[in-house]
Structure 1
Amino acid sequence: MTDLPRIMITRRLAVGATLGALALSGCAATSDGTTTGTSGVSSAAQEVADGTGVWDASAVHEFSIDVDEDALAGMIDTYQQTQEKEWIEATVTIDGTTYRRAGLRLKGNSSLRGVSDDAAPGDLPWLIRLDKFVDGQSVDGSSGFIVRSNSSETALNEAVALDLLAEAGLASEHAVASSFSVNGGDARLRLVVQDLDEDWEAENFSTDGLLYKSEAGGDWSWRGDDPNAYTDVFDQETGDDDLTPLIDFLDFVNNSSDDDFAAELPQRLDVDAFARYLAFEQVVDNFDDIDGPGNNSYLRYDAESGGFTVVAWDHNLAFGGMGGPMGGGMGGPGGMPSPPDGERPDVGDGAPGDGASGGGRMGGSNILVERFTAVEKWSDLVDRAEADLTKELFDSGYADQVLDQWISVLTEQAGDLVDKATVQQEADAIRDVI
């Protein structure tokens, strides 16, 4: 694909559809045209159309929040004291249309590190839910919006990564540049991303299922059959409350023998999509993924096949986006603190996943990644997927064109929020990776 008439290239899942079709026959395509018997579970992903309306990324959108100052201060105090993220009511205006009694709460983990009473609310990461207190309230079919933090001023790294994620045939999120303000304060350039909720799930998957979010403070250990043992470890985002499929999967991942793991995983996980996911995160240089310090991932259970798909989440550190040339300051007190000299952050005692491909993955350990990449045929599948994605996304010139489209939007429409020199500098840092 070389003709890009719009910033939001079709959010297609053609690769996922191909892998799904091959999975039905027990095969997966490789870069040399051969097949390997690796997958028995299809992700049931479907094509996603270009963003329209509020998700039209060819325009800079306006998001303004009006919220009671005392309620806002109380929310921040509660988070400082308990780490609990309370919901409060707010009036939200999106592109000139006002939505009253919307829900507003803090969103993030490391992006909230060091948040203080004097933090500028326009710089903090937020989750907006138009339907939190008013049933059915939405705009253009969406009710959930995440105002992202980033270590750069433009958030170009995450915007480009999400477009490439969709082109790679993996479930992604719509994202738009916005002029964001709170209580009449100075507007900030912020990336607004689609929340992974029921609306997102219906757009990306064609079957019924359950969506689980891996929490930053948790891990993928099996903690027994009691659902209460998984509080603050996984959070169920969609469907009726039911952790049974997740608990069964964690039991298998943690406790199966090596032979059983290799034989049975393809009936429990979309193996091909997972290999492509691991390869993608390596290609876009995002260490903060499923086995990174933020434990960033979702697990989607397909009620028809009985299998899982790993869903990518959190790309604000893509393209080496923490420190170094991408270091900046969007978010002020709520932004991502950059380590000295552009180094990767200290992630504690967790060791990187052992068998990961490419130039070396960083972050905490993840049992699924470790056991998956320890199986030679799947480790090889990751390596082949990385080579394929490098050709499809980078060597083809596709990523350059996506980046150029985002540059055009920011330089032509967001000049009051960020200067052209900054846009170009941060784009050049991405271009170096591409």
Structure 2
Amino acid sequence: MRRRLVHRLPIPVRRHWKILAAFLAFVAVTVGVFGQARVRPYITGDTTVIASRITENVAGSVDFFDAETAHDVSIEFSQSDYDDMIAAYRDEGEKKWITADITIDGTLVTDVGVRLKGNSTLMGLRGTGGPGGGKRGIPEGMEPPVGTAMPEGRGEGGPGGMVTLSAEDPASLPLLINFDKYVAGRAYQGMTQLSVRPGSPVLNEAVSLSSTAESGQPTQRYAYTTYSVNGSPTQTRLVLEHPDEGYANSLFDSDGVLYKAKANSSFTYQGDDQTTYAEQFDQINAEGSQDLQPIISLLKWLDGASDEQFDAELADRVDVESFARYVATQNLLVNSDDMAGPGKNYYLWYDLETKKISVVSWDLNLALSGNSDAGPHDSIGMGGGARPGGADPGAAGPGGGMPGGGGGNALKERFLASEAFTSVYEDAYRDLYRQLFGSGRAVEILDEIARAVPLSDGLGAEKLTSEVEILRARLQARADALAANEVIVAG
């Protein structure tokens, strides 16, 4: 369900609003009696009434995600700190935090944390060309299978393109901005983190994010901004909210726990020791009251379930309809790096009321860049190609992830292979196709986004127009290719 404005309030606040209202009334009376004396709340009992760790929320000048407003982001940090950050990644693969000042739409926020963001995207920085080599690269074990080609359009900012990064150009690098890294409890408009994406204008990712939101599925908000680092020429950048505790607490109507799969994670049962999984999954919220057990329990069941048990019991553990829509969306968007891709790009949501898990999409930078002819039961490979029958090129198969960061996910593969869930998946696929592609809505979304993309020193009108037309053709080709598909026609 798409988040309404009220859902930006953490769930504990909405569920315990009467307690909070009574407490605020008490504070008001106390202030009236004691004047300017500071009142420090002391909370006992049910800790779920503690709504947020945010104690300083920077309001900013305008809503950062208002697409009708022009946005500007600039970052300043010391050259020596930057050099240390690059050296740490180049030599050790460490994503080191440094201190920076950031100005967002005219509002200065000092002493924020900044580090490199990404995995395969960054590998060019570790090439033999040195810190300024700017080489493109994919880490060992994550290369496309032999015989497959990289999707067409790859290049600086092209749809799904692998961008060229250079340490000599800090504005070219993907960064994670953390507002409370060095100032505890601080947020910007309720967010503790923002992610600066590389490349320009990366329309494919923006359209994919908006299309996911349009379908009513959880996703991330984003803004296009003009962007500079240390006074550099301006670039056009896509900036996303990065899932944090507030994001997790406002994602759904019910209470739950959000987990992020790390790039080195393996969606396989590896025993009951939680420390094993803590190295592969980050718990975003509810720390102290919840843990990783829901993931372990699902993986343990998945590991031992026969096909008959899988069919009969999956709906007791996974929100099947939500999962069907997630899987269908990734296929429709031709995303080669979803939960089954080598990047392990997904979040897991565990609903504390239903005791079921659902999947939240993340990192759609490779969406809408592959083979537009892929059908509902074709798997999208890293090379952009498609294989029939749900078998990912280079995927590990039913066992899950491959050593060295390869693709594959047992839950997705078994779900698609099971005849018990075929109708659920195909119904979801038809519904999403008609809503987004058959109706022409995806092209309308592209046009709406294009109007909000700011020009900059690095992005001129001619290039933007060219990128829009390239993606428009891809969207139309996708709609046309599926229009006569038997899954679509059958409904």
TM-score of Structure 1 vs Structure 2, range by shorter chain: 0.7 to 0.9
Deviation, 1:319, is: 0.9
Which position in structure 2 is the counterpart of 1:350? 394
Which position in structure 2 is the counterpart of 1:207? 254
Which position in structure 1 is the counterpart of 2:361? 312
Of residues 93, 100, 106, the one that matches 1:96 is: 106
Task: Indicate whether 1:430 and 2:471 are aligned.
Answer: yes
Which position in structure 1 is the counterpart of 2:8? none
Task: Indicate whether 1:195 and 2:242 are aligned.
Answer: yes
Give the residue type in structure 1 aligned to 2:94: E
Distance of 2:321 and 2:385 partners within structure 1: 29
Q: C-alpha offsets along residues 72-121 of structure 1, whole Å, 9 cap, x if unaligned?
A: 11112112222222222211111111111111111111111111522121
CA contact (8 A) 1:142 1:199 kept: yes
Q: C-alpha offsets along residues 226-258 of structure 1, whole Å, 9 cap, x if unaligned?
A: 122224422222221621121111111222222
Distance of 1:162 and 1:294 partners within structure 2: 18
State the SS of the aligned residue for 2:121: helix
TM-score normalized by structure 2?
Answer: 0.68
Of residues 325, 328, 342, the one that matches 1:293 is: 342
Which position in structure 2 is the counterpart of 1:168? 215
CA contact (8 A) 2:394 2:407 kept: yes
Distance of 2:365 and 2:65 partners within structure 1: 19
Which position in structure 1 is the counterpart of 2:270? 223
Task: Indicate whether 1:264 and 2:313 are aligned.
Answer: yes
Deviation, 1:353, is: 5.9
State the SS of the aligned residue for 2:236: strand
Using CA pairs under 8 Å that are at least 6 residues apart, name the structure with larger relative contact order, 1 or 2.
1
Of residues 58, 71, 90, the one that matches 2:68 is: 58
CA contact (8 A) 2:235 2:456 kept: no
Q: Where in structure 2 are there 5+ consecutive unaligned residues?
A: 5-61, 133-166, 372-381, 387-391, 399-405, 476-491
Distance of 1:87 and 1:394 partners within structure 2: 42
Q: Where in structure 1 are there 5+ consecutive unaligned residues?
A: 1-9, 14-51, 323-338, 355-362
Which position in structure 2 is the counterpart of 1:399? 442
Which position in structure 2 is the counterpart of 1:41? none
Distance of 2:105 and 2:397 partners within structure 1: 44
Deviation, 1:416, is: 4.2
Of residues 138, 143, 148, the one that matches 2:192 is: 143
Q: RMSD in angstroms over aligned alpha carbons?
A: 2.4
Distance of 2:384 and 2:353 partners within structure 1: 44
Deviation, 1:276, is: 0.6
Give the residue type in structure 1 aligned to 2:96: E
Give the residue type in structure 2 aligned to 1:300: W
Q: C-alpha offsets along residues 396-427 of structure 1, whole Å, 9 cap, x if unaligned?
A: 121121111111122xx425441222222222
Distance of 1:196 and 1:56 partners within structure 2: 19
Deviation, 1:179, is: 1.3
Distance of 1:200 and 1:117 partners within structure 2: 35
Give the residue type in structure 2 aligned to 1:240: E
List aligned pairs for 1:304-343, cutoff 5 A.
Answer: 304-320=353-369
Distance of 1:419 and 1:11 partners within structure 2: 34
Distance of 2:421 and 2:385 partners within structure 1: 28
Between the aligned residues of both structures, percent identity stands at: 39
Of residues 131, 140, 152, the one that matches 2:180 is: 131
State the SS of the aligned residue for 2:207: helix
Q: C-alpha offsets along residues 359-391 of structure 1, whole Å, 9 cap, x if unaligned?
A: xxxx72111111111211323322222222111
Task: Indicate whether 1:237 and 2:278 are aligned.
Answer: no
Larger radius of gyration: 2
Of residues 308, 317, 333, the one that matches 1:284 is: 333
Query: Do the aligned partners of residues 179 and 352 (structure 1) sit closer, same or farther apart at CA in structure 2, a change above 3 Å counting?
Result: farther
Query: Do the aligned partners of residues 343 and 170 (structure 1) sit closer, same or farther apart at CA in structure 2, a change above 3 Å counting?
Result: closer
Distance of 2:92 and 2:279 partners within structure 1: 13
Q: C-alpha offsets along residues 330-368 of structure 1, whole Å, 9 cap, x if unaligned?
A: xxxxxxxxx9xx8669xx9832768xxxxxxxx721111
Deviation, 1:59, is: 3.0
Give the residue type in structure 1 aligned to 2:262: E
Which position in structure 2 is the counterpart of 1:178? 225
CA contact (8 A) 1:177 1:190 kept: yes
Q: C-alpha offsets along residues 4-25 of structure 1, whole Å, 9 cap, x if unaligned?
A: xxxxxx9568xxxxxxxxxxxx
Give the residue type in structure 2 aligned to 1:428: E
Query: Do the aligned partners of residues 71 and 415 (structure 1) sit closer, same or farther apart at CA in structure 2, a change above 3 Å counting?
Result: closer
Give the residue type in structure 2 aligned to 1:175: Y
Give the residue type in structure 1 aligned to 2:447: D
Which position in structure 1 is the counterpart of 2:146? none
Query: Do the aligned partners of residues 160 and 269 (structure 1) sit closer, same or farther apart at CA in structure 2, a change above 3 Å counting?
Result: same
List aligned pairs for 1:41-52, cutoff 5 A.
Answer: none
Task: Indicate whether 1:419 and 2:444 are aligned.
Answer: no
TM-score normalized by structure 1?
Answer: 0.76
State the SS of the aligned residue for 1:114: helix
Distance of 2:237 and 2:217 partners within structure 1: 24
Deviation, 1:321, is: 6.5
CA contact (8 A) 1:149 1:316 kept: no
Query: Do the aligned partners of residues 305 and 155 (structure 1) sit closer, same or farther apart at CA in structure 2, a change above 3 Å counting?
Result: same
Distance of 2:384 and 2:439 partners within structure 1: 30
Deviation, 1:207, is: 2.5
Of residues 430, 433, 448, the one that matches 1:387 is: 430
Give the residue type in structure 2 aligned to 1:117: P
Which position in structure 1 is the counterpart of 2:50? none
Give the residue type in structure 2 aligned to 1:73: D
CA contact (8 A) 1:179 1:417 kept: no
Distance of 1:178 and 1:268 partners within structure 2: 41
Distance of 1:266 and 1:161 partners within structure 2: 27
State the SS of the aligned residue for 1:238: coil
Task: Indicate whether 1:409 and 2:423 are aligned.
Answer: no
Distance of 2:394 and 2:70 partners within structure 1: 40
Distance of 1:394 and 1:343 partners within structure 2: 19
